[in-house]
Chains A and B, each alone.
Chain A
Amino acid sequence: EADIYQTPRYLVIGTGKKITLECSQTMGHDKMYWYQQDPGMELHLIHYSYGVNSTEKGDLSSESTVSRIRTEHFPLTLESARPSHTSQYLCASSQEDTQYFGPGTRLTVL
């Protein structure tokens, strides 16, 4: 089993609030990723990082931002949550091509 953790697992929050979704991995992987997935729909890459101080936007435009100050930590921040941000957010990490996923954060913005 992969050692990748996400908190919180579930978050219900009001419009306009700032939120940070946490993702940590203990495998020493250089590469980390954030995906967004709506129920029954495809995974969409929104951010990725190839190492410390490296972040890139993914294929799906997102209003969120990320940072990579430590190898093991890749938090995602929404400055002002809106109902359109309601979704599941999945974090993953890899050393080569195989990606391992965390359990996800299910975000609901009211």
Chain B
Amino acid sequence: RKEVEQDPGPFNVPEGATVAFNCTYSNSASQSFFWYRQDCRKEPKLLMSVYSSGNEDGRFTAQLNRASQYISLLIRDSKLSDSATYLCVVSSNQGGKLIFGQGTELSVKP
């Protein structure tokens, strides 16, 4: 079983749709959680950190459920420019190291 598992993609949605990505992690000692975005053939870029209380940044909402070891990302009113692969990322218990999920590809169509 992988340490971080994400929904298999790709997700193909029309502009304006609401999209939800799900992620589970196996290490209950993990302390930090992130969503990164990776465009085709580019480097991953931090989209947002995920906090226990949940957090929102514009059209993006991230939630964390430590009891279930579950992380989610909601994108509202999706834009063409949201098309990318979204990576769920969790800290390991070896300081500084991160564990990356395999990513879920999103394709937003006009």
Contacts and interface: CB of A to CB of B under 8 A. Distances in A.
A42 B43 contact: no
B22 interface: no
A16 B12 CA distance: 43
Contacts of B44: 43, 90, 101
B102 A42 contact: yes
Contact of B97 (A42, A48, A96): A48
Contacts of B98: 97, 99
Contacts, number: 44
Q: How large is the interface on B (under 10, 10 to 19, 20 to 34, 35 or more residues)?
A: 20 to 34
Given A42-B102, A42-B103, A97 B96 contact: yes
What secondary structure prevails in chain A residues at the interface with B?
Answer: strand
A101 B45 contact: yes
Interface in B33-49: 34, 41-46, 49
B96 A31 contact: yes
Interface string B82-110: 00000100010001111011110000000
Query: Binding site of B, secondary structure by majority: helix, strand, loop or mixed?
Result: loop
A97 B32 contact: yes
Most buried by B among A42, A48, A90, A102: A42
Nearest to B33: A97
A50 B98 CA distance: 13
Contact of B96 (A48, A101, A106): A48
Interface of A: 31, 33, 39, 41-43, 45, 48, 50, 88, 90, 94, 96-104, 106
Interface of B: 31-32, 34, 41-46, 49, 87, 91, 95-98, 100-103
20 contacts: A33-B97, A41-B102, A42-B100, A42-B102, A42-B103, A43-B44, A43-B87, A43-B100, A50-B95, A50-B96, A90-B43, A90-B44, A96-B32, A98-B34, A98-B49, A99-B46, A101-B43, A101-B45, A103-B42, A103-B43
